[in-house]
Structure 1
């Protein structure tokens, strides 16, 4: 009975390690998609500002660029953390 218990524990440990890897891959994919989304938001804000003139044009551009910068920094930090 004991050898099967040891085998069960080893199997669970292996699945846990594999789950960790899949979680990291999933997180990277989600952050990459989010970074693409942030890039598209920045492009859309640029198009909007060319179409409609508003006094808040500069603020919207700054927010969109900051959003993109934060998304890129998060993606790079996550890649760095996973690589370690």
Structure 2
């Protein structure tokens, strides 16, 4: 099914993802060519699909590195993604 041009309401899911990528990544970085853009988008897609907390799963990521536990008393370590634009947290050793 073809979507009419200049009609973002016709594909709301794709438009929402494009808005999210723009606001979280491309509006905050200088992109130096197509290869750089693909690298940045690949890294963001890995974070977005695998490590980002999802509201539909009670803020648990779909592919956690380890079982989620109560972390209120534990020390956390920050791991930057995309040069620090996004931060993922994990238990400190």
Same fold flag (TM > 0.5) = no
Q: Mark the structure with the bigger radius of gyration.
A: 1
More helix by share: 1
Higher RCO, 1 or 2 (CA under 8 Å, sep at least 6)? Answer: 1
Higher-strand-fraction structure: 2
